[in-house]
């Protein structure tokens, strides 16, 4: 069977220890990405099995219609809305999901919070150009001494979404002496109260009282565009908004508009509506926004975990013992 691994931007997959599990099989790794139905269908026309790296490639009905050989899609991490599972089921294409860990995205979230609050990217960039102790954040619209930065101790950390990642980030906040507040579904708020955290009484209060707001919510039709410009405009001019979950949780262009208005004063984002982003992206041009290239899960331990599970799904399917199939009905479809 022909196995295709897509979107390995860093050419990392072949160097993983778990990659040896595919040695007996024919596997092609693509280190660049293509967009558009035509290019993808050409790249995948001979694929029996596709290995996806998270949601870097979207598999929709129009694409699977053009891939008559495709039998299995195996996902690194959890299956999400980027795969049209019903369309795959109709065509007898099995979809397997893997495992995930909250540790790497939680650690990146905290790294972004610390870097942003102490203005590290700006200080480092200016030091390379000969400017000593200059962050460059001194626009007239900014609060006094905004560019100096501030400590976390005594500040209020807001967590929207108190799941596995949100809980770890909350624990980091408490360890740094922050007051932690939670917003989200009723179950999340109840769990936060049980864990001894504060819960905001209203959504507006949550955004208004927090010095840092960090979002940890799964993208669904219900949560898409859930954070609005009005929400962001409630934040303090000294506050930081952090999104390492999904860009589509925020309504289009709302964060750009909010940052230009100065509420919140800063943002740190690891996710974008269309990835990879172009060099001229509006957020990249804002001095009060820190951007990273969706690396929340991109580190060696996570890759070994994610790809190890995905490759096990491949091997098991080829051997006739498919595992972790989210649409078992596909296995009953005659091809």
- Identify the active-site residue in 90, 275, 287, 299: 275
Integer angstrom CA distances of residue 114 from 15, 135, 173, 182: 31, 15, 11, 19
Give yes or no: 246 in active site. Answer: yes
What is the 3-class SS of the chain, one letter each residue? CEEEECCCCCCCHHHCHHHHHHCCCEEEECCCCCCCHHHHHHHCCCCCEEEECCCCCCECHHHHCCCCCCCEEEECCCCCCCECHHHHHHCCCEEECCCCCCHHHHHHHHHHHHHHHCCHHHHHHHHCCCCCCCCCCCCCCCCCCHHHCCCCCCCEEEEECCCHHHHHHHHHHHHCCCEEEEECCHHHHHHHHHCCCEECCCHHHHHHHCCEEEECCCCCCCCCCCECHHHHHCCCCCCEEEECCCHHHECCCHHHHHHHHCCCCEEEECCCCCCCCCCCCHHHHCCCEEECCCCCCCCHHHHHHHHHHHHHHHHHHHCCCCCCECCHHHHHCCC
Integer angstrom CA distances of residue 327 from 44, 72, 299: 21, 11, 29
- Identify the active-site residue in 54, 119, 181, 246: 246
Distance CA(26)–CA(146), nearest Å, equals: 55
Distance CA(315)–CA(321), nearest Å, equals: 9
What residues have CB less than 8 Å from 335, skipping those under 6 apart? 71, 91, 92
- The catalytic residues are 246, 275, 294
């Amino acid at each position: 069977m022909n196995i295709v691994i897509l979107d390995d931007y860093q050419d990392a997959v072949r160097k993983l220890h778990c990659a040896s599990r595919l040695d007996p099989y024919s596997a092609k790794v693509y280190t660049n990405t293509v967009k558009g139905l035509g290019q993808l269908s050409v790249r995948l026309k001979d694929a029996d099995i596709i290995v996806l790296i998270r949601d870097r490639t979207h598999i929709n009905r129009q694409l699977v219609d053009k891939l008559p050989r495709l039998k299995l899609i195996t996902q690194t991490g959890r299956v999400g809305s980027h795969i049209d599972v019903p369309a795959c089921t109709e065509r007898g294409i099995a979809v397997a999901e893997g495992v995930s860990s909250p540790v790497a995205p939680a650690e990146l979230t905290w790294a972004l919070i610390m870097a942003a609050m102490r203005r590290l990217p700006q200080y480092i960039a200016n030091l390379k150009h000969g400017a000593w102790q200059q962050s460059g954040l001194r626009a007239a619209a900014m609060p006094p001494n905004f560019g100096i930065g501030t400590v976390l101790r005594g500040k209020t950390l807001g967590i929207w979404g108190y799941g596995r990642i949100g809980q770890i980030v909350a624990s980091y906040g408490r360890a740094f002496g922050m007051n932690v507040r939670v917003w989200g579904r009723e179950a999340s708020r109840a769990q936060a109260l049980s864990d001894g955290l504060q819960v905001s009484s209203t959504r507006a209060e949550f955004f208004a009282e927090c010095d840092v707001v960090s979002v940890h919510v799964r993208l669904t039709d219900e949560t898409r565009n859930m954070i609005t410009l009005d929400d962001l405009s409630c934040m303090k001019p000294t506050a930081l908004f952090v999104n390492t979950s999904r860009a589509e949780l925020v309504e289009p262009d709302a964060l750009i508009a909010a940052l230009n208005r100065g509420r919140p004063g800063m943002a740190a984002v690891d996710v974008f509506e269309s990835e990879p982003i172009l060099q001229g992206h509006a957020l990249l041009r804002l001095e009060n926004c820190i951007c990273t290239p969706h690396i929340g899960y991109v580190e060696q331990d996570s890759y070994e975990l994610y790809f190890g599970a995905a490759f096990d799904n491949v091997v098991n399917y080829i051997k006739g013992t498919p595992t972790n199939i989210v649409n078992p009905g596909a296995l009953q479809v005659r091809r």
